[in-house]
Amino acid sequence: MRRLPRILRIVAAAVSLVISLSLFCGSGVALSNWAAFQLGPALARLAAAFTFGALGIAVLILALTFLFGRFYCVLLCPLGILQDLIGALSFRKSRPVKNFPLVRYWVLLAALLALALGWAIGWRLLDPFSEFGAIAGGVGARIHTALYNHWNPETTLPVRPGFGWSLAAGLVPLAILTALVVWKKRIYCTAVCPVGTLLGLAAKSGWFRLTLDKEQCVKCGKCVRSCPSGCIALAKGEIDNERCVRCMNCFSACPVGAIHYGHPAAAPVDMDRRRLLIGGAATAAVTVAAVCGFKPTAKQAAADQGAVYPPGAGSAARFRSKCTGCQLCVVNCRGNVLRPAGDGADTVHLKFDRGMCEFNCDNCGRVCPTGAIVPMALPDKRRCRIGLAEYIPPLCVAVADGTDCGACAEHCPTGALRMEPDSRGIRIPKLTSELCIGCGSCEYACPVRPERAIVVRPVPIQVRSTDPEEYFRTHAKPAEPAPAGDDGWLI
Amino acid sequence: MNRREFLKTSALTAVAVAAMSKLPGAALSAAEAPAAGPLPDLVAVRNGTPAEMFRKGIEALGGMKAFVKPGQKVVVKPNIGWDKKPEEAANTNPELVAEIVRQALAAGASEVTVFDHTCNEWQSCYKNSGIAAAVTEAGGKVLPANLKEHYSRVERPEAVKMKNALIHNAILEADVFINVPVLKHHGGAKMSCAMKNFMGLVEDRGFMHRNDLQQCIADAVLYRKPDLNVVDAYRIVTSNGPRGVTPADVKTPKYQLLSRDIVAVDTMAARIIGFPLESIPHLKLGEKLGYGTMDTAKLKIARIDA
């Protein structure tokens, strides 16, 4: 019976990891509520687009952690479960790990400051869900797409571009994580992860704790060798509930039943308050200085100006300060236009070489777990201007060759581009900018190479475009069908 | 309906019913059909549902058995270009496509496939046009057309501009090709109908746009002459085509045209939508390539009220 908690934990974790992977393998929209229960993104959402829902989720997770401990880390956190999986595959026994309380408190402080002050990169590098996203989106989703397309040649998934870069962005964290796990199991979770540290603070003096009964203990060390957090001090007969992730391995491993889970009487050990305060103040100062001192170089600034961001991003500055780069939007983009950081911009952005921002798709806003892409109802998304088309007549086929083309106008979903005869009677594109939403349909469709005759330029801030129905009610009269003949037939 | 029309339709119906029956030799007698006089070159049907109009129209042309022989592979090529709902009229009516699939299978087709090289993301187009579900329910099979590997290189030296092209494999493999466009306004080509629908067989549409679109549309028909063209003009986009922007762009004339002659059927379609023929240069270019006529006065045309 003592084995049951561990077995249940492993089964639940396996299901959870599959669901989290599915988020990045084509089911992001259907499972977006799952991502909402990730604490890291929920905290980011509090800073990016405050909702009481996100606050409720954060409070709920912390309250449950206070009551029962850091079950979140073994059941919900996909990066944590991935580490357990790597750990199991490494076949190495666990050893006690030194406690680094000050390191993790300072990291937590730095991460929260980065979040609050709008330096998303700082948060992105530490937040477990964003790291998992880099791995699942950059490596996992690619493997899934390749296998799926191999077995389902008639319903292929879109192949995401930027193979090398995005693969590296996933492989590097995966390699670092693997090295850490092989070295000291969940040391990331107990010494670095800001989400884990926050949960640890909730669990430290929590209601239910794991305790070691010194009277019963035979000092066989089986618990220590099974503990991924390395938080069991056998000599002292103590389990550090702050670092314990409730994998229940020790509980199952103990041959004499000396490990108990319940409400204890003993009070936890106190921290060295002075060191904590001094270190905290120093970290705060360094973080604030780093954030304030973080000024993009001229090249970076130019790249950001040259990027189009997803509908709901607001502006380059806002989006950069809120997006944690988890890639959930990238791998769920129907038009295959969202690209991860790199490729000319240091955050998620759009490129129109493989498709257009699909008019009827609002996946990115629906899957974004941090609120960096503010979710919009589809009618609002359809009028959210993320860029502005610029027509370059000398490059245009219709102007240069005098032949019909109309690829841009054909694809334009809002009527911003229509073909109208010029002085020679050639139908050329006419751009009505107030209707343009910058979806890139025209740029994608334009057949002119290497430079296209119509391109989407970034806008400084996303605004609402003119309502096409309103516009065409007042500006254009749709053509009527030819009048009927005497017998009522049109032909 | 006057008496002459009534008699004419009844006679045609009788022939078609005979053709559809399982009597041996029925199809033969329908195809020759000397009793009813020569079959029309073009049939115009109006004022019915898309499926009803097709049933009347194909009867008038001698029934589906005149086009599909038992065991043949049939490909039906509607317009599924856009992620739009049926009532937005940017794609061919799904009921019409389903009825064609059903009739082709009833005529003994070994398989009926349906595809289009879409403009929007293809799975949204197939799904939201209603065509994937309608075709599957009717017993047909929808094929993807989103990857280069779905196409093969074909050469046509007689073409003026597009002398070789990647053409969808389903078209190259089929015994019977039924072209089922929806009639629409089109910003670039002026009108999108039977000839323009050929852009959905071609992998590199950009080439066509770059190299004299009107000529390339005319050239595209050389790659596989359709055995039958069925023009869906039940709902049509008359402005802001081919996608349509507002509901005001859509009109409902409730027409359907059927003919083997792709130029003739497009010429008649231009009259339904009310565009001058000279504003649609690919009609004349198609006629020049010799696979059809714009001189509809010389054709035998049947007009049927469904």
DSSP A434-448: GG-----HHHHH---
The residues, ordered by sequence, that sit 6+ positions from B17 with a Cβ below 8 Å of its Cβ are: none
- A-chain residue closest to B146, CA distance: A156
Distance in angstroms (rounded) separating the CA atoms of residues A482 and A16: 62
Q: In the numeric block, which tokens belong to residue A67? A: 């009551």
Q: Which helix (H) or strand (E) holds A476?
A: none
β-partners of residue B182 are: B232
**Where are chain B's structural domains?**
38-305
* Beta strand extents in A315-374 (DSSP E only): 338-339, 349-350
Secondary structure letter of residue B279 according to DSSP: G
Question: Which residues numbered 170-199 in A keep a CB inside 8 Å of some CB on B?
Answer: none
* Mean pLDDT value of segment A418-425: 91
The residues, ordered by sequence, that sit 6+ positions from B68 with a Cβ below 8 Å of its Cβ are: B74, B103, B104, B107, B108, B109, B176
Distance in angstroms (rounded) separating the CA atoms of residues A199 and A209: 14
Q: What percent of chain A has pLDDT over 90?
A: 62
Three-class SS state of A404: coil
Sign, Cα dihedral of A204, A206, A210, A216: positive
| Start-to-end C-alpha separation, chain B | 10
Q: In the numeric block, which tokens belong to residue A284? A: 């705060």
Residue B28 is predicted with a pLDDT of 42
What Å distances lie between residue A115 and A109, A204, A322, A323, CA to CA? Answer: 10, 24, 8, 10
Confidence of residue B27 (pLDDT cuts 50, 70, 90): very low
Q: Is the pLDDT of residue A482 over 70?
A: no
Residue B24 is predicted with a pLDDT of 43
The burial class, CB within 10 Å (0-12 / 13-18 / 19+), for A297 is exposed
Distance in angstroms (rounded) separating the CA atoms of residues A101 and A111: 15
Secondary structure letter of residue B108 according to DSSP: T
ipTM field: 0.86
Distance in angstroms (rounded) separating the CA atoms of residues B306 and B11: 15
- A-chain residue closest to B125, CA distance: A360
CATH architecture, domain defined by B38-305: 3-Layer(aba) Sandwich (3.40)
Contact of A155 with chain B, judged by CB distance below 8 Å, is answered with yes
Sign, Cα dihedral of A210, A214, A217, A218: positive
Instruction: Determine if the peptide bond prior to A450 is cis (ω within 30°).
Output: yes
The pLDDT tens digits for B132-147 are 999 999 999 999 999 9
The residues, ordered by sequence, that sit 6+ positions from B247 with a Cβ below 8 Å of its Cβ are: A469, B88
Q: Picking from A359-368, B2-11, B216-225, B239-248, which range would have the lowest pLDDT averaged per residue?
A: B2-11
Q: Is the pLDDT of residue B247 over 50?
A: yes
**Chain A interface, best mutation among B84, B141, B210, B304, by max A CB count within 10 A:** B210
Residue B306 is predicted with a pLDDT of 84
Please give the single-letter amino acid code of residue A295: K
* Mean pLDDT value of segment A159-181: 86
The burial class, CB within 10 Å (0-12 / 13-18 / 19+), for B35 is exposed
pTM: 0.86
Distance from CA of B186 to the nearest CA of A (A): 7
- Of residues A157 and B192, the one with the higher pLDDT is B192
CATH code 3.30.70.20 region(s) in chain A? 383-476
| Residue among B188, B185, B160 nearest A396 (CA) | B188
Q: Is the pLDDT of residue A210 over 90?
A: yes
8 Å CB contact between A340 and A165: yes
The pLDDT tens digits for B272-288 are 999 999 999 999 999 99
* Mean pLDDT value of segment A10-14: 97
Place of tokens 């357990």: A84
The pLDDT tens digits for B88-136 are 999 999 999 999 999 999 999 999 999 999 999 999 999 999 999 999 9
Q: Is the pLDDT of residue B189 over 60?
A: yes
The residues, ordered by sequence, that sit 6+ positions from A390 with a Cβ below 8 Å of its Cβ are: A454, A455, A456, A457
Taking contacts as CB-CB distances below 8 angstroms, the residues of chain B near A491 are: 44, 255, 268, 271-272, 303
Distance from CA of B66 to the nearest CA of A (A): 25
Q: Do A359 and B83 touch (CB under 8 A)?
A: yes
Q: Which helix (H) or strand (E) holds A29?
A: none
Secondary structure letter of residue A478 according to DSSP: P
What Å distances lie between residue A412 and A9, A229, A480, CA to CA? Answer: 51, 55, 22
A336, A445, A472 member nearest B245 (Cβ)? A472
Distance from CA of A161 to the nearest CA of B (A): 15
Distance in angstroms (rounded) separating the CA atoms of residues B194 and B183: 8
**Chain B interface, best mutation among A155, A333, A395, A403, by max B CB count within 10 A:** A403
β-partners of residue B180 are: B78
8 Å CB contact between B277 and B206: no
Secondary structure letter of residue A394 according to DSSP: G
Q: Do A482 and B147 touch (CB under 8 A)?
A: no
Entry field: residues in chain B: 306
**Chain A interface, best mutation among B120, B207, B278, by max A CB count within 10 A:** B120
A383-476 domain in CATH 3.90.105.10? no
The residues, ordered by sequence, that sit 6+ positions from A249 with a Cβ below 8 Å of its Cβ are: A6, A223, A226, A227, A228
Q: In the numeric block, which tokens belong to residue B136? A: 């599957």
Place of tokens 């530490």: A126
Confidence of residue A347 (pLDDT cuts 50, 70, 90): confident
